[in-house]
Each structure stands twice: as C-alpha cells, then as structure tokens.
Structure 1
Amino acid sequence: MVGSPSAIASAPSNPANPSDQPTPTPTSTGSSGSSSSSVSDVVDAADAFIDTLDDDQQSDVLLDFTQANATAWSNLPCGSTCRVGIEFSSLSDSQLTAAKAVIKAATGTTSDTGDDQITQILAADDYLGTTATGYGSGNYYLAFLGTPSTSGTWQLHFGGHHLALNVTYKDGEVEGSTPYFVGVEPTSFTEDGTSYAPLDGMHTAMLNMLDSLSTDELSEAKLSESFSDVLLGPDEDGDFPTTKEGLKVSELTDDQQALVLAAIKPWVDVADDDTAASVLSDYKSDLDSTYISYSGTTALDTQGDYVRIDGPGVWIEFVCQDGVVYTSQVHYHTVYRDHNTDYGGEFTFS
C-alpha cells in the first residue's frame, strides 16, 4: 500500500519547488538490446549532470554497484532510510533539469509509459503532498551505481514513493530494465488544468486481456490465493514461485495471445524504445510457455483484485488496494521483473 501512517509520519517532508513540478510529456521504453549510441546519450546526460555537482554531491550520486545499493528501493515514502543517492529537493533548478534529462534519455518515449509515466508519478506525489505530509517530487533519489560509461557495468537507480527505476548497462548495452515498481494514488487527478492517469494504460491492457477469456478459461486462470499487494515488491528479490500458476497462453487463440502481448508492452516500455522492442520480441517468442492468472474479480476496481503474467523471462503483477490518503478510492501497485535480468543478472538471490 502507499504507506502506513507511521511511515508517512516519519517520511521526510521535502516537497519540490513548485516551479520544478513535472508536466506530462510524450514518451516510450525497452530492455536489453539497445544500441551503444542510445546508451552513449544516457552516459552524456549522466556526465552533464555530474558536472553540475560539487564534490559532496558527487559522493552521494556516484556509488558502488553492490547488491546492497542496487536493492535499496521501496514503494514507501521512507526517504533515505530505504534508498541511496541524492535527493531531488537538494538540487538547484539547473541541477534538477540535468537530472531529469538523464531519466528521459534512459527511458521510453510513448505516452503514459517510460519518461512520461515517471513524470506523471512525480506529479502524482506532488498532488498527494497537497493533502498529506511526507509526499512530493522532491523526495526522490537518483544514484549511479558504478561509473556511467559505454564500457563496464553500471546502473541508473532512481525512485521514491510509488516508483523504483533500475536500468543496468553492460558494455554499452542495456542488460536489464527491471525491477520496475510503479504505483499511484489517486489513480487519476487533475492539476492546473492537466489531467493525469499514469497507470491507465496498464490497467486497460490487463482488463482487455482478462475480458477476452471464456468462462472456462477464467476458471483455469483463477488463483486460490488472495493478494493484498504484489508478491515481488521491495526486499523480495529472487522469490519467484517455483511453479507457474494459472492459464497457459499456448491454450489461447491468436487474438487472445495478441492481447497478452499488448498487456505486457506498457511495462516493457519503461526502457528506451530500441531496448523495449527487443525485449518484447523475446517475450513474444516465450508466449507459449507464459501463464496468466488473477485473483479477486476481473474488474480490477476493488481491494484484492490482482492479475499476473509469468513467463520464462517476464513477471508482471498488478493489484488494487484500498486508498491510504484517499480512503474512499482504490489505488494501484504494480511490479515488473524478469526471471533472468533483474539488476542485469548481476546478483544471485537465495
């Protein structure tokens, strides 16, 4: 969920300067297989950002690529107690602009995915901060784990409440764009005449997939367990179930399989466009060995409504929870992982 009252109370209250509040811009995404030229754009943006920082700030941003640093992310508004990096609220306007340029260079360009979705999530936290303390786009942290380069291994590590972006690079290519956690409360809102619904594309794609199933297929896809949150959220690295559950995609028609692939796409699109296309192609090849499942209802509008896609590589969960700040509404949590390339496949989890 968004965060317990105690977590909210203890979270740092550092809302970003109103002039720095994000506005949505068109964007899209990917995972392994991006060209070295696109990675060089990320490295150039990272170097430009680093050049704006003093020595102390650089020591906050440039960290070792260790398992402890890579896995330091959360969906909670827990500030630096659960994250590494430099806090957005500590940056000047020009530094903040340079930091956001790194994220934009690394992520996709399709509307409501990639950079656009991330920008909207920050806007959602600013909106939440007008109602409750401890929220705001200033409470997000950016770090480079390892040295940004077109050679060697390093990670772009960015997140805050309801967001964790982990893109790992190796020898000039994207080696992994997961884990990617994203959530939102409220699910839609309007601020300064602009309407936001950051996870609407994900929600709609899952609905379309479930709506295509027959009664018998729904029965086969139904899980016996109930879920109050995603299974593989923070601190659950490597804990994939040993047995896949639900309905095997190979049992579906071509049209239904296309809807499964369409349901996967909004998550894959967190990465740069070339990477996203490559990863989606891999997941398409794996569809016959992929399973879909759900718990609760297929309307995805009530506490405990849950849907999962689990393949040889792809792992996606989407769940509805009662609101924490807006208690009369549900809010969404979702996580995208890959069985093989979380954190670029650099770590082994028992």
Structure 2
Amino acid sequence: MVVSNSGGSTTSAEATLSVSSADGSPVISRQPTAQTVSVGAAVSFSVSATGSGTLAYQWRKDGATLSGATAATHTLAAVTTDDAGQYDVVVSTGVGSVTSSAATLTVSSTSAVATHAAAVHSAMETFLGTLSTSQQGTAQLGWALDSARRWSNLPASMVARNGVKWGDLSTVQKTAARSLITTALGDTGNALHLGMQAADEALVSTYGASSGTYGAGHSYIAALGTPSASDFWLLQLTGHHFTANLAMGGAYASPTPLFLGVEPKGSFTLSGTTWDPMQAQRSAFANLGAALTAYAGARFSKTYGDVLFGANGSGSIDGSCPRSYASVTDLGLAYSSLSSTDQALVQTAIRSYVNTQASAVAAELLSAYLSDSALASTSVGYAGTGTVTAKGNYFRIAGPRVWIEFSVQSGVIVSSDIHFHTIWRDKLADYGGKCVS
C-alpha cells in the first residue's frame, strides 16, 4: 500500500497472497510466456506455482517429455531452429497435478540468412531481367508444393522439369544465371553445380550418350512463388543428377530435398579441365563405411538398390509429403555407440552435404544437425561391404531432422562401371518447411 498526505508518501512492505486449491493440489500463479529469439541465443521458460507438499516439475516440448527438465525454470543455452515449438510444464504434488498453458518459442533466422536471402532475390531479379517475356513466364511459377515436387533423377527428356533450360539461354543470360547460382549456393555449391553439368557433358563427348538426353544444356532454373527479399519463395535448380530446392524467406532456410548423383563416378577430364564433382561426399562415405564395418550393429539387415526417399514417387518425381520416415525400421547403430574418432566421420559426412550451401545457410543447418541433443538421437548404418566401389553398397545417416542416403548403383551410360545416387532431406525444412503434416 502507498500512504500519502501533503508532506509526502510511503510504501508498505509487500504481503504475499498464496492461493491453493482446496485439496492442496498445485495452482499455477504465473504461466510461461511466448518468446522469439535468434539462432544461438539463450532462452528460459519459467513457471510459478503453489500447492501442499513438495512441488515437482516436468517440462514438455510439443507434448513430448524433455529429459532432465524438472525445475521451475527450463533454460536452453544455445537455441537452434530445431528448438522452435510449444513448451509447457506439468506441476504436480502428492495429491494432484496441473499443466501450464503452452508458450511458443519462435526461432528467427539469423541476420546472415536474411542478408543472404536478400542477395539471392537481387540476383534473381537481375537474371529475370535478361529473359524475354516468354522465358520469364517459363521461369516463374506460382507456389505449389505439387509443382515443387517435379524433379527427378532421370534425364529431363524422360521427366519434364520446371523452369528455363540452360541450353536455351544466351551468353548474357548464362552469365546472369551463373551469378545467381553462385550467390545462392556459394562458391563450393557453384563448383558442384558446374561439375555436375560437366559430368553430364562428359557422358556425351566421352562416352557417346545422346546430346538430346544428356549434356550441360539439360539443366533448369525456376522460381516457385514470387521472388522476394523477405517473403517465402523457392529457387529450384534441377537437371539429371543435381536438384536443389532453395527456400528463401520462410520458416527455414534450406536447400532440401537435395539430390546428388554422378556418372562418371569419379575424376574425369573435359576440354582440358579435370573434374570430380562428388569427391567430398564419396570420400566421406568411403571413410565412414570402413569404420562402420567394425560395428556389428551398424550393418542393416536389408539390402537397398537405391535411396528410399529420392525422386521415386508416382511419375518418377518426388513422392508425397510428409515422408514416412517412421516406416523405416532398419535403423543401424546409434551415433552415441561410436568412438569419438568415428563420430567425427559421421559429422564429416553430414558436412560434405551441408557445406555445399552458402555459409549463412550451412551454419544455421549445422547448428541444428550437430547439436548435442540432435546427435544423441542420430543413427548411422550401411548395407553391403561398407565400400563405395561396388554396386549394392548403401549408407544412411538419420537424425531428428537430417536424413542422408548414399547408394552405389550400376553404371547406365558407363555400363562397365558404377555410379552414385544420394539424397539429403530435412524432416522439418524440406521445401522450406512445406513438406510436413
């Protein structure tokens, strides 16, 4: 109470009013509150409650119990995008319990990701400005998940692609397109894209494949949704053995689903330049496979002729959303069961895919995939002999979000050899988070 007169005022000491239920079961007096933070920030949720006896707390995220979160305050030291969701707490005593209201944790994209999205938008506008009116109509599509799913690991002559065709672009247009791709993917991703185009060109010039089906010209660029510096849209880069679905301005910055395959499988020379597009991924899984053979529990009981969740839906395009990850019961070995040396090999394999992206996007995704909590729920396994040199070998890394498959298959054009099919998916962020229930 504040007591005052003409000479001034004074405030009394505080008196606490505690409200309890009639039977002593807990009553929540202060609910946890919603918060919005950036990736890497710390955040705490707190609750205040009264009740007879000792109060017990159990925090939950999206209805699932959080291990070790049994205090009145739950703190996340370094937030990742994987931490976004609904948080509540069950407060209990010996005579009853009560559940708090849910507090939403929103994890915003980092400023680096926002800056990256704005730069990609600018490069896209420049590219579109070089196109004719009819080409612009081909390059720009309205956003629809069914449209985004139109990519395949088969040549474009067999399964049609979205967007404008590389082989139909002028020199000026290709220069703007290359600038767009470099901006969107970064230098490493751009080099990968160039290498994939070169590999398809080598199938024609070195191995005699038809230029009507294979070659660098059979790559495509499309914008799904209206390109924007801040709102959601999707840049789709696709072709025979390369597809990236680069989400801009949405809930998640992600290039997934990302398909990488290559034939010829390794190093080759084209017009005096030596290429080896998937050297990083091939080496990472070769090293990981050699290590996994020492663990009896790492070998799958099944064999796999191709990746499970590639473009193997109806019409040889990407399958329906969401993907049925829970239906895969062949899980391999827990990451926690590996030695620290072999755990590092798993992380290297994950990085070999994520680091094909611009640094801002890669940093955000790696913070989610390689956090202690994510790795604690990650598994790895193989089928075959653990090598990348023979048909039938297969590898999979599966985490709470990350899903990577690497499959060794018979050659198609280079029929005496092998070639690779691989897929990187994100259970939350495929197509910018549009592929969830």
1:59 aligns with 2:142: no
Separation of aligned partners in 2, 1:35 and 1:213: 35
RMSD over equivalenced CA pairs, Å: 1.7
Give the equivalent residue in structure 2 for 1:119. 194
Q: Residue 83 of structure 1 aligns to a residue in which SS? A: coil
* Match among 363, 366, 369 for residue 280 of structure 1: 366
Q: CA deviation at 1:120?
A: 0.2
Give the equivalent residue in structure 2 for 1:16. none
Query: Scaled by the length of structure 2, what TM-score is found?
Result: 0.68
Separation of aligned partners in 1, 2:345 and 2:436: 33
Separation of aligned partners in 1, 2:332 and 2:173: 47
Q: Residue 201 of structure 1 aligns to a residue in which SS? A: helix
Does the 8 Å CA contact 1:79/1:140 hold for their aligned counterparts?
A: no
Is there any run of 5+ residues in structure 1 with no aligned partner, and where? 1-31
- Would you tell me which structure has more strand in proportion to its own residues? 2
Does the 8 Å CA contact 1:313/1:340 hold for their aligned counterparts?
A: yes
Q: CA deviation at 1:303?
A: 0.8
Give the equivalent residue in structure 1 for 2:417. 329
Query: Scaled by the length of structure 1, what TM-score is found?
Result: 0.85
Does the 8 Å CA contact 2:245/2:257 hold for their aligned counterparts?
A: yes
* Match among 293, 299, 311 for residue 222 of structure 1: 299
Q: Which runs of 4+ in 1 moved over 4 A?
A: none
Give the letter for the 2:422 counterpart: T
Separation of aligned partners in 2, 1:337 and 1:142: 20
Q: 1:52 to 1:71 in 2, by over 3 A?
A: same
Separation of aligned partners in 1, 2:181 and 2:157: 19
Separation of aligned partners in 1, 2:435 and 2:400: 18
Aligned residue pairs total 312
Separation of aligned partners in 1, 2:432 and 2:164: 22
CA offsets 1:245-280 (integer angstroms, 9 cap, x no match): 000001122222121111100111232112112211
Separation of aligned partners in 2, 1:40 and 1:151: 7
Give the equivalent residue in structure 2 for 1:236. 319
1:245 aligns with 2:331: yes
CA offsets 1:201-252 (integer angstroms, 9 cap, x no match): 101111222223463x1x2011111111111111235132434600000112
* Map 1:1-350 → 2, pairs under 5 A: 33=110, 34-79=112-157, 81-110=159-188, 114-130=189-205, 131-133=208-210, 134-170=213-249, 175-187=253-265, 188-213=267-292, 215=294, 217=295, 219-234=296-311, 235-237=318-320, 238-242=323-327, 243=329, 245-285=331-371, 286-348=374-436
Q: 1:347 to 1:284 in 2, by over 3 A?
A: closer
Give the letter for the 1:276 counterpart: A
Q: CA deviation at 1:105?
A: 0.5
Does the 8 Å CA contact 2:138/2:163 hold for their aligned counterparts?
A: yes
Does the 8 Å CA contact 2:284/2:348 hold for their aligned counterparts?
A: yes
Give the letter for the 1:44 counterpart: S
Q: Residue 68 of structure 1 aligns to a residue in which SS? A: helix
- Would you tell me which structure has more helix in proportion to its own residues? 1
Separation of aligned partners in 1, 2:287 and 2:421: 18
Does the 8 Å CA contact 1:177/1:270 hold for their aligned counterparts?
A: no
Question: Percent identity among equivalent residues?
Answer: 39
Separation of aligned partners in 1, 2:275 and 2:151: 24
Q: Whose Rg is larger?
A: 2
Q: 1:37 to 1:82 in 2, by over 3 A?
A: same
